[in-house]
Structures are given as C-alpha cells and as structure tokens.
Amino acid sequence: MNTPGTAAAAAAAYFRSRRGFDRLLTLFIKKYQSLGRLAGRITLTKPSPEEVQALAAFFRLNCDNKSSITISFAQFAAALEQTRFAGADILDIFKYYSRAKLMTNQEMNAQAETARCHFIDTLRSQYINRHCHIWLNAVYHKTPGTRRAQAAYERGAPDNQNLFTITLQALSNLPESYERLPLFAGRIAGNPHALDTTAPAGRLFLEALKLLSQQSCRPETKQVSLPSPAEEEAELLYSFHLLRDDLLNFVTCSGLTAFKETAGNNRELPYWREAWHTGAILNVPLRELVTLSQLLPARLPPGRKNVYIVENSGVCSTIIDYFTGKSLPLPPLLCTHGNFKLASWAAIDRLIAGDCLLHYSGDFDPEGLLMADRLLSRHPRQVKLWRYSAADYANCLKNTGEITAISESRCKKLAAITSPVLADMVQVLRSTKQAGYQEALVTTLIQDMLL
C-alpha cells in the first residue's frame, strides 16, 4: 500500500474534503465490494447542488437539471488521469478514502464464515455431551431447523456467547425424570424465566430440542397436525422430561387403576382402585400422571384390556351417569376434554405401557378426524377407531336435529390426515360437508361398553 504522501493518499484527501464527492466515492466502493473488481457503473439520484457542481467540473459534464447522474468506472478512471492525481491506483484511493481495509463482499463473507466456524468449533470442544454435538454439528452445517441459531450468532458478542452457553448448558443437563421448566431454568441459568418461550434463550432451546427430536425420530414428536404452537412446544418439552404446567393440565379417568414403579416393581396405588369401588371418577393432573408407570382397567376380563377414549366431557358424563344409575361398575374410560393435551398423552402412553387396546370415539368433523389421526399415528397398533364408519356417520346425522355445515376453510384441514383407516371418512366429509357429533351416538357407545 502507498504511504500517505503518495498520489492515492492525496486524491483521497481531495475527495474527502469536498462533500460533492461523498456519494460518488461511497457508491463506487460499494460497487467494487459487490463485484469484486473495478467495473460497472453507479447512479446518483436527485443530485444536490454541491454534487452537480463537483461532478460537472471533475467529469466535464453538463449535469444541470438532471434527476440522476450515471457514472461508470471507466469514466472515473479516465477523468482521474486528467488531474494531478494521474497514475494513482484507484483501489488505493478507495482504501485511503474509507480509512479501513478494503475488502470485497466475497472476502468479508469468507472472513465472517471462518469466524463463525471457529466460534462453533470452540463450543464443540467445550461441550462434549452427545446432544450438544448433534445440535452444534447441525448449526455448523446450517442444517434446516437452525435458523434461530444462525440469527443468535449474528447478534454478536457477548449476546451470542450468552445465548449459546445457556442453550448448551440446558442440553448438557436434560433431566432423566420429569422436572418443571422454571425450576430447570433456574438450575441451569440462575433465572427461572431464562427458558420461557418469550426469552431469546428459550426460543433457541426449543429450536435445539425440535432438531434433536426430529433426528432421533421420536414417535411422540412425529410431524403431525397439532392444535396450536403452544401445544407443540409443550409436547416437545414433555418428550425431554420438562413440564410447563402440571396442575391445570388434566384428564378425567373412570374405571382405571394405576401403578407406580418402585425398586423395579410395579406397585398398585390403592386410591385408584378405591375410586372405582366407590363409583368415583378422578380428574388426574399431569403432575400425578408423570409419576405413574402403567394404567390398566380396574376390571380385567380374561384376555381383554379394552379402554375407551372420548374427547367430549358431556358424552363422558352421560356414559358415567348410565353406569352409576344402573349400579354397574364404572367402565374403563378416559376423557380428554377436547384436543389432546400433555395430560392426555401422558395417560395414553401409560395405557399403552400396560398393553391396553384403546378405542377412540370423536366427532365427525375435520378437527375430530385430525385428533383420531394423531392418535393412530402415535400408536397405530394399539388404537382402534370406535364408531367411526360411514354407517355410524349416517346414523349420527339421522339422530341430529340441526345439521352443522363444514366450511371450505375447515374442509382444507382434511388434507393433513394420513391414516389409511380414515381415508373413507375423509372422502365422505369432503362430499357431504356436514358435521356429525358423538353426542348423537352416545346410546350406541354405551351399548358397546356393556358387551
């Protein structure tokens, strides 16, 4: 590089001392950085009087009354040769003018990528946990599903270091037994809200967990239609033994008994069986469900472990009313109260652990079929649809006074259903565009449970 006394330094000082050249030189430098060579042209829109005067004199152009002025590198080089700065290297002029090392965009990108890789390599050497390495390798290679991680790095130091540190500490210390998210965050970061979904570290942590779950092909996190982002996040956390809300998240259980593993043995919890004996139902929160190893029907006919699932609380109450009114033992019944929540999945998973066969009944509408599809996708071998045939749908409509139409926007949800056993009902609903609700079949459901 030339010293400050050279023609290039003098030319840079000249251009810098005259405001009329500011935009011209700045745009030329950006053009060089973009192309990586001295070529092309730049355009000054709405030139100021100072710019018109400076450019007209330097390039010997008539710039009066022009809304824009376009100058090429070739013009600039030719005009420069007609001045006392003839022979000066244009790149050196740009370097002196910008008072910084001049790099092309390609060079800057390469330098930035080298720094990014060094940042991740340093973290890989510090965090040897398998989960950390899987995630960091994905971030290193910019694997799809690491967008937040790339954005977090771009925040620069020290923010990026703090975000990655919290996330990696969390991945290194994922609990083996269920733990509430605020307590886990406090243990990891010293702040119970550090991993909230509204916090940058919380969002980055969720992205990392999602990538880990997809790469491990966990059945509980299979990509199926979910009712809301909040439910998706809650299920994702649950799959890694982290609980967001374990009291208000509950299911209603009837005719079931529960077991807890103690010292390698399954021990029956007496209050579940006592509830069945007294004809009582249990609203069981997630807090209790995660401590269980198995759920089973309280009454076990030989060779049968049938459990019935409904999503409608009114249907559930009607079934229970019938059995208590007839002084019959309560049937093995689970009510999810609408879409499957974490408590629903926790109970279902423990019924599956007990080798139960689940019979699911829901509404004949897109949302009901989506729930059935999720359940079938998660446990295809131990779930049977209960009164979900075209004939049952026809009977449902026959017993319904006022038919509810299904809008086109709701019908589009049917495209997300993948279970083959639901294919016929999907076509029927697309054709009729009429919803049927399980309340109209409650008498039939009761008769099935009596068999």
Query: What is residue 103's predicted lDDT score, i.e. its pLDDT?
Result: 83
Residue 97 near residue 25, CB atoms below 8 Å: yes
Check whether residue 201 and residue 130 sit in a common domain.
yes
- Determine the 3-state secondary structure of 264 from DSSP: coil
Q: Give the residue, 263 or 410, on which the prediction is more confident.
A: 410
Complete DSSP assignment for 68-134: EEEEEHHHHHHHHHTSTTTT--HHHHHHHHHTS----HHHHHHHHHHHHHHHHHHHHHH---HHHHH
What is the CATH classification number for the domain harbouring 366?
3.40.1360.10
Report which listed range, 2-11, 179-188, 226-235, 299-308, is most confident: 179-188
| Range scoring the smallest mean pLDDT among 230-234, 336-340, 353-357 | 230-234
Check whether residue 205 and residue 312 sit in a common domain.
no
Check whether residue 16 and residue 61 sit in a common domain.
yes
Domain boundary among 205, 227, 242: 242
Domain boundary among 102, 125, 159: 102
Query: What is residue 227's predicted lDDT score, i.e. its pLDDT?
Result: 57
Question: How many angstroms separate the CA atoms of 393 and 370, rounded?
Answer: 16
Once rounded to an integer, what is the mean pLDDT over residues 262-267?
A: 86
Q: How confident is the model at residue 218 (pLDDT cuts 50, 70, 90)?
A: low
Check whether residue 362 and residue 229 sit in a common domain.
no
- Determine the 3-state secondary structure of 369 from DSSP: helix
- Determine the 3-state secondary structure of 206 from DSSP: helix
Residue 369 near residue 393, CB atoms below 8 Å: no
Question: How many angstroms separate the CA atoms of 369 and 381, rounded?
Answer: 18
Share of the chain above pLDDT 90, in %: 75
- Span 129-181, pLDDT tens digits: 999 999 999 999 999 999 999 999 988 878 889 999 999 999 999 999 999 99
Distance of CA 451 to the CA centre of its chain: 44
Check whether residue 277 and residue 422 sit in a common domain.
yes
Check whether residue 95 and residue 144 sit in a common domain.
no
* Total length of the chain: 451
Burial of 81 (0-12, 13-18, 19+ CB in 10 A): exposed
The mean pLDDT value of the chain amounts to 91
Check whether residue 158 and residue 268 sit in a common domain.
no
Check whether residue 197 and residue 222 sit in a common domain.
yes
Query: What is residue 217's predicted lDDT score, i.e. its pLDDT?
Result: 60
- Centre a 10 Å sphere on the Cβ of residue 176 and count the other Cβ atoms it contains: 6
Bridge partners, 357 (sequence order): 306
Name, in order, each residue with C-beta under 8 angstroms of 257's C-beta and a sequence gap of 6 or more.
268, 269, 272, 273, 276, 295, 296, 297, 298
Check whether residue 273 and residue 208 sit in a common domain.
no
Q: Hey, what's the torsion of the CAs at 229, 235, 237, 241, to 10 degrees? A: 170
Phi/psi at 68 (nearest 5 deg)? -155, 155
Q: Is the pLDDT of residue 223 over 50?
A: no
Once rounded to an integer, what is the mean pLDDT over residues 52-69?
A: 89
Q: Is the pLDDT of residue 360 over 50?
A: yes
Question: How many angstroms separate the CA atoms of 240 and 178, rounded?
Answer: 8
Residue 319 near residue 331, CB atoms below 8 Å: yes
Check whether residue 147 and residue 294 sit in a common domain.
no
Q: 38 lies in which domain range?
A: 4-102
- Span 199-211, pLDDT tens digits: 999 999 999 999 9
- Span 7-35, pLDDT tens digits: 899 999 999 999 999 999 999 999 988 88
Q: Sign of the C-alpha dihedral, residues 208, 210, 211, 216?
A: positive
Question: How many angstroms separate the CA atoms of 234 and 248, rounded?
Answer: 13
Name residue, tokens 């069986």: 273
Q: Sign of the C-alpha dihedral, residues 12, 15, 19, 21?
A: negative
- Determine the 3-state secondary structure of 57 from DSSP: helix
Alpha-helix residue ranges (DSSP H) falling in 141-216: 147-154, 159-172, 181-189, 200-216
Once rounded to an integer, what is the mean pLDDT over residues 310-320?
A: 95
Query: What does DSSP assign to residue 198?
Result: T
Check whether residue 98 and residue 117 sit in a common domain.
no
Question: How many angstroms separate the CA atoms of 396 and 390, rounded?
Answer: 10
Query: What is residue 401's predicted lDDT score, i.e. its pLDDT?
Result: 78
Q: How confident is the model at residue 226 (pLDDT cuts 50, 70, 90)?
A: low
Once rounded to an integer, what is the mean pLDDT over residues 66-83?
A: 92
Q: How confident is the model at residue 108 (pLDDT cuts 50, 70, 90)?
A: confident
Query: What is residue 244's predicted lDDT score, i.e. its pLDDT?
Result: 85
Q: Give the predicted TM-score (pTM) of the model.
A: 0.69
| Range scoring the smallest mean pLDDT among 28-32, 229-233, 374-378 | 229-233
Residue 157 near residue 122, CB atoms below 8 Å: no
- Determine the 3-state secondary structure of 178 from DSSP: coil
Lookup: tokens for 34: 């973009």
In this structure, which amino acid lies at residue 441?
A: L
Residue 429 near residue 369, CB atoms below 8 Å: yes
Question: How many angstroms separate the CA atoms of 250 and 241, rounded?
Answer: 17
Domain boundary among 84, 102, 120: 102
Provide the domain count of the chain: 3
Q: Is the pLDDT of residue 75 over 50?
A: yes
Share of the chain above pLDDT 70, in %: 96
Lookup: tokens for 241: 């033994």
- Determine the 3-state secondary structure of 283 from DSSP: strand
Name, in order, each residue with C-beta under 8 angstroms of 281's C-beta and a sequence gap of 6 or more.
252, 253, 254, 275, 320, 330
- Determine the 3-state secondary structure of 180 from DSSP: strand
Question: How many angstroms separate the CA atoms of 351 and 203, rounded?
Answer: 32
Phi-psi category of 250—alpha, beta or left, where left has phi over 0 and alpha has psi -120 to 50?
Answer: beta
Check whether residue 293 and residue 434 sit in a common domain.
yes
Alpha-helix residue ranges (DSSP H) falling in 326-363: 342-353
In this structure, which amino acid lies at residue 82?
A: Q
Once rounded to an integer, what is the mean pLDDT over residues 364-386?
A: 95
